[in-house]
Every structure is written in structure tokens, then in C-alpha cells.
Amino acid sequence: MLRQCLAIARREFFFMWRDKSLRYILLAGPLLGLLIFYATYSPQVLKNIPAAIVDLDHSRAGQELIKNIQAAENLKITAYPGSYDELEELIKKGEVIAGVVIPEDYGKEVSLSRQARVEMIVDGSNMIYATNTTSAMLSVTRTLSAQTGVKVLVARGIQPTQARAAYQPVEFREEAWFNPTLNYAYFVVLALALNVWQQCCTLAACMNITGETGARSWYQIKALGLSRLRLFFSKSAAQIITFMVIALPVFFLAFVVCKLPLRCGFAVFLLFNLAFVIALHSVGTLASSLAREAVNATRFGMIIALPSFLLSGYSWPLEAMPPYLRFIAQILPQTWYFQGLNFLTFKDPGWAFMSQFFLAFLIIAAVCYGTAAIIVARRT
């Protein structure tokens, strides 16, 4: 029995290797994805955001505000339009992402210790730019507002130290945990590369049954009286091993070469990926059992693999999704995988917490493999 299973597994390895298109997709897809994503996000933090300043006041206070904005860490002032309309045109053309409009009475209002209004405009059509630009702008305005408030109190005869203490009696200290530098590459590069990997694996798994029953060799296998359970168990084992092997170079590049974070032990991380691969393969096997032809199996695989990352809650929180979408997302192994991936790479919460992810993979695999076995038994 063992010899027969090994022979079937060797046959499956040979078939997967002989299929050039499948071989190139499985080997090159995830690696190429990791390299492209790492190169794309290698700056780690969005810097030199193009911005413009419209100074309608031309006062000393306005010039001081301009200097503060110019000194902002991630902003780059590239234009000084003379009017609001000129700024609007620059933003429409995409030449600048943000703009600051200093009103005509800004210096007067500041000198009279009155509330002055400065308009900040951000191009919201690009959410990444908009979020980072708003953060950079707010850091400037908070600092300048505090400095202006202290100057007003000092002008009224209060000592500078007392003025600073009175203006800001509570000191708020910001501290980012698990990703202190808010490195965007740490958050997104590995996840995007593994998304390519899981898509390739899903497409391959969707051929597990259809690729066999739709071939002429299926009649020979039936004539030999070979157990269907033994056949598909051996084929599945070969495919799962292949999926894990092609992930190893991705992990090496990610954690050793690119120095992406991994807080848990590598053995735990491999075990987590193995559990996911089994669950993912079961979903592909179920899709393969439902398809009558190889083309339909591939279509099913695309329908499952492509939206799974968006539904996983990695790029958009699950809590913000409608209830019916959350229900669909929790059925997919990709949701549990990418959620768990974030915990293992950044936090390592321990086995007591991660056991729910392994249990989810086990349930998904049992349901999908069991359903696929029933469908194949009835059909053949």
C-alpha cells in the first residue's frame, strides 16, 4: 500500500513538473511577486509629498508659518501659487497632493491674539497619499498652534515655562507598538507576496480531481481497480508538499534577505502555513469535484482566489464589513491565514490564542474534503 501511494505521488510530481506553464507559475509567481512588492515599498515611508502654499497675507507671521510647513518631515513644497484657483488647478492636474492657504488677515489675527483660520486642502482621490499628507499637516499645525499659544501668554507677562505648562497641562506621548517606525513595507510586502502564492496554489489545487477524471488515463486507473481514496490522498499529499516547498524560497527572501519581521519561531510559522495549505487545498479539491471540465475548475479557482485577500480583513477591517460579508469571509481559509499571519509576524500571541486558527483550518479541510469525496463517489 505504501509503495503504491509513493508511486502515485511520484507520478503527480512528474505531471506537475512536466506542465511548463504550471511549473513556471508556481515557481516564479510568488518569488517575482515578493521582489516586485519589496522594490515598490522599499522606501518604507512615504516622503517628499508634493505640496503647495498660497500666501495671501505676506506678513511676518505668514512667513513663519511657511517655514514651519517647509520643515515638515515628509512634505516637499513644490509650488507657490498666487491664488486659490491656481492651487485648485495644480491639485486637479496631480502636480501637488496638498495645499495650504494662508488668508489675508492671518498676521493681523495672530498679532491681536485672535483665532486665525488656515485652510488645508488634501487630494482625497489617492487614499495613501491623503492619509500620509493629513498626518504630516496635522503634526505641523499642532506644533505651530502650541507655539502661538505660548507666545500669546508670554506677551501677557507670564513666564515662558509657566506659559508652556499652562497651555499644555497634559503631555500626550505617541508610541507605536510592534511596528515602531510604521514601516509600510513590513505590513504589506509579505502579505502581498503570499497572496500571489495562495492564488497559484488554489489554481493548481482546483485541478486535483478534474485533472484526473477528465484525462484518458482515468479509464486505465478504473480498470486497475485502484482505490479512489488512495489515489486522491497520494495526489493531494504530493501537491501539498509542492506548495510548501515553493513557499520556502519566499520565506528565505522575506526573512533573511529582506529582513521582514517574524516574531514567532520559524517552526511554528511553518506549521501554521502547512495547516493553511491543507485547508486551501481542500477548498480547491471541492471546487475541482464540482467542475465537469478543467476550464470550469480554473474559473472556480479564480473566483475563490482573487477576492479572498480583499475579504480576509487584512487591507480593510472585518469589523467594518457588512455582516453577510463577514460570514463569507470566515468560511474562507485565506481570512484565517492573513489574520494569523499578522499576529505571528508582528506579535506572537502564543499557542492559546493561535489554536483557534488551526481549528478553523481543520474544520474547513474536513468539510471540504468530505464533501468532495461524496461528490466524486456519486459521480463515478
Provide the 10 A C-beta neighbour count for residue 243: 24
Among 109, 134, 167, residue at a domain's last position: 167
Contact 136, 73 (CB under 8 A): yes
pLDDT at 171: 59
With respect to residue 144, please indicate whether it lies within any of the assigned structural domains.
yes
Counted domains in the chain:
2
Beta-strand ranges (E) seen in the chain are 49-55, 75-79, 98-102, 119-122
- Sequence-distant (6+) residues with CB within 8 A of 14 are none
33 phi-psi bin (left φ>0, alpha ψ -120 to 50, beta other): alpha
Cα 35–307–129 angle (5° rounding)? 60
Q: What is the CATH number of the domain that holds 126?
A: 3.40.1710.10
Length of the chain: 380
Which DSSP string do the residues of 86-108 spell out, in sequence order?
HHHHHHHTTS-SEEEEE-TTHHH
pTM, entire model: 0.77
Both 356 and 238 in a single domain?
yes
Among 167, 199, 216, residue at a domain's last position: 167
With respect to residue 219, please indicate whether it lies within any of the assigned structural domains.
yes
Both 338 and 311 in a single domain?
yes
pLDDT at 2: 65
Q: Tens-digit pLDDT profile for the chain (380 aa)? A: 666 666 666 666 666 666 667 667 777 778 787 788 777 777 767 778 888 999 888 888 888 888 888 887 778 889 999 888 898 899 888 898 888 888 888 878 777 767 778 888 888 887 777 877 877 777 777 666 666 665 665 566 666 666 556 556 555 666 778 877 677 778 888 998 999 999 888 888 888 777 565 555 555 555 555 666 676 777 888 889 999 999 999 999 999 988 889 999 999 999 999 999 999 999 999 988 888 777 787 788 888 888 888 888 888 888 888 999 899 999 999 999 999 999 999 999 999 999 999 999 999 999 999 998 888 877 76
With respect to residue 173, please indicate whether it lies within any of the assigned structural domains.
no
pLDDT at 5: 64
pLDDT at 157: 64
Both 244 and 356 in a single domain?
yes
pLDDT at 152: 60
With respect to residue 255, please indicate whether it lies within any of the assigned structural domains.
yes
With respect to residue 175, please indicate whether it lies within any of the assigned structural domains.
no
Among 167, 199, 224, residue at a domain's last position: 167
Provide the 10 A C-beta neighbour count for residue 208: 23
Both 354 and 212 in a single domain?
yes
Contact 358, 206 (CB under 8 A): no
Strands lying side by side in the sheet with 98-102: 75-79, 49-55, 98-102, 119-122
Supply the range of the domain harboring residue 55: 49-167
- Sequence-distant (6+) residues with CB within 8 A of 379 are 213, 289
Both 189 and 97 in a single domain?
no
| Whole-angstrom distance, CA of residue 249 vs CA of residue 258 | 12
Q: Which long-range contacts (CB under 8 A, 24 or more apart) does 143-148 make?
A: 143/68, 144/65, 144/68, 148/110
pLDDT at 236: 84
- Could you tell me which of 243, 208, 226, 246 has the C-alpha nearest to residue 368? 208
